[in-house]
Every structure is written in structure tokens, then in C-alpha cells.
Structure 1
Amino acid sequence: MSELQTMRLDKWLWCARFYKTRSLAVEEIGKGRVTVNGQNAKASRDLRPGDTLVLRQGPIVRTVVVRGLMPGRGPATVAQGLYEETPDSLAERERLAEQRRLAPEPADTLTDGRPTKRDRRDIDRARGGEWNNRWSASID
């Protein structure tokens, strides 16, 4: 953290390791998934320490307060010091993680896989004949 007073929003999101590249950060900001102090922002908006960001990463919504600015991307341990997540945001993320953990596995509802060749033949017989009878390419 240095003596920087302001920093571009997209660059800060990249430095704080919320997004892997600045272009991804710009894309998410453009989609309206990042707000600064309750207002939609542009990628070029200047951030200052004390600003509150609400950002969505997939199904997860995070609310963070900017604590510091850094001239470039650094180690993850340093990047974590650039922000502080609000207690409400942490509690909501924990609640959603618990919900996902307790949700049933979608694959458990599948009892049978893809039909075998024998199953397909049985299905065709039950429908009233062979597959070729449905399509007539000959002149009758």
C-alpha cells in the first residue's frame, strides 16, 4: 500500500484479485455487476479508501470497503489487505455456502443412464415397429 490517493476501479479490482484480468473487471463493471457507494460505476471511476463496493461474482454477492490502494498487482496476502468485507456480506456468503452444501446432488436423481442398444430396440418395438417404418423413401 502506498501514498496513492485515487485509483481506477478496474485496476483496483484486478490488484485486489477479484478478477484475473483487467479486461474481465471492465466487462463485469460494464454489465452493472459492480457498484460503488450504491451507484453504478464506469471502469474509469476513481476509487478512494473508504469507498464501499458491492460486486457479484457468479451467484456470490460481496460487499467490501476499500482500505488501501496499490500501484500494481502483488501477492494475494497483500491484496487481501486492500479491502475489508463487511460482516453482513461474510454471514450471507456463509449461509449460501451452507445451502449449497446441503442441496441434493443433481446426479443422484438419475436412476438409469443412456439407453443401451437392447433398450433402444425394446423402445422401438413398444412404439409399434422398426425405425425404418416411420420413414418412407420408396414409392408405394
Structure 2
Amino acid sequence: MESPTAAQGAARVDSWTWAVRMFKTRSSATAACRAGHVRVNGDRAKSAQPVRVGDEVRVRSNGFDRILIVSRIVSKRVGAAVAVECFVDKTPPPPPREEVALVPMRDRGAGRPTKRERRDIDKLRATQRGEPDDASWLPDDD
């Protein structure tokens, strides 16, 4: 016997997000709904909210939103190949990451940096803050 929501072509949002492998466990899907990390058609979703074909589901995970359009209702967990067919991923590509120059690490026990090393470190930090690396910006003493 099917549940009433499955007969109407709907499933619980926590069950559907777990079934299409957005979450590893059903309880983590429920916890995400409770925390407000799941939205259906722009509204915050409770875990028992029904999801139908054509609904937009936003899932916040790992610091960014995944935007999914429901194309098929499943209530039991399916394989990865089938799960991909159950939604259309409308997530925009992530913005490009900025390259950050790493501060060179000193060997442990190497002591304090020499004067030359300290100047190099100061120069590197100044360029990261966007400051000029020389004194050309100072006014002349006329």
C-alpha cells in the first residue's frame, strides 16, 4: 500500500533529499530542514512538507546552495545514476577562488628571521594588504 503523498505524486522533502543523495542519512536531512538549510519554492521547509514534480528545492551544504528542480518523485533511496535523473541541477558555478600567496614557513627551531628575511616577509604582507612595497608614495622633503 502506498502512502497518501506518494499516491498524489508527492514525497516528504527530507525523504526526497535523502533519496536523491543530497544527505548521507535521513536524520541529517531532517536536521537540515529543522535548521532552515532546505527551502522549497523559496520558503523554509519543514521536514514533512510535500515535494512535487516541478518544485524548486534549495539545499545549503558545505557553504553553498544547491538549486534543484524536482523532475521525479522517489521516496526510497536510489543509486547515484538514478538519483541524477530525479532532479535538474540549476546550481550556478562557484565563483573563482582568489590565489593567496602563502607566507613561507620557517623550520621549527631555526630561530628568529634575519633582517633580510623579515624585510621579505613585511614586503609580502604589504602586497597582500594592497599597500605599495616601497616608499615612493611618501611626499618629498623640499
Q: What interval of TM-score do these two structures reach, taking the shorter chain for normalisation?
A: 0.5 to 0.7
For residue 33 of structure 1, report the CA deviation from its aligned partner. Answer: 1.0
For residue 3 of structure 1, report the CA deviation from its aligned partner. Answer: 6.6
Point out 4+ residue stretches in structure 1 off by more than 4 angstroms: none
Give the alignment of 1:75-94 within 5 angstroms: 75-86=79-90, 89=91, 92-93=92-93
Q: Which residue of 2 aligns with 1:138?
A: none
Q: Which residue of 2 aligns with 1:104?
A: 100
Give the alignment of 1:56-71 within 5 angstroms: 56-71=60-75
Helix, strand or coil at the partner of 2:69: strand
Separation in 1 of the partners of 2:30 and 2:38? Answer: 10
Q: How many residues align?
A: 107
Helix, strand or coil at the partner of 2:88: strand
Helix, strand or coil at the partner of 2:48: coil
Q: Structure 1: where are the runs of 5+ without partners?
A: 121-140
Helix, strand or coil at the partner of 1:109: coil
Percent identical across equivalent pairs? 27
Normalising by structure 1, what TM-score? 0.67
For residue 111 of structure 2, the aligned residue among 119, 126, 136 is: 119
Q: Which residue of 2 aligns with 1:136?
A: none
Q: Which residue of 1 aligns with 2:120?
A: none
| Bigger helix share | 1
Separation in 2 of the partners of 1:70 and 1:15? Answer: 7
For residue 6 of structure 1, report the CA deviation from its aligned partner. Answer: 1.0
Separation in 2 of the partners of 1:33 and 1:50? Answer: 20
Separation in 1 of the partners of 2:43 and 2:78? Answer: 28
Higher alpha-carbon deviation: 40-49 or 55-64:
55-64
Helix, strand or coil at the partner of 1:119: coil
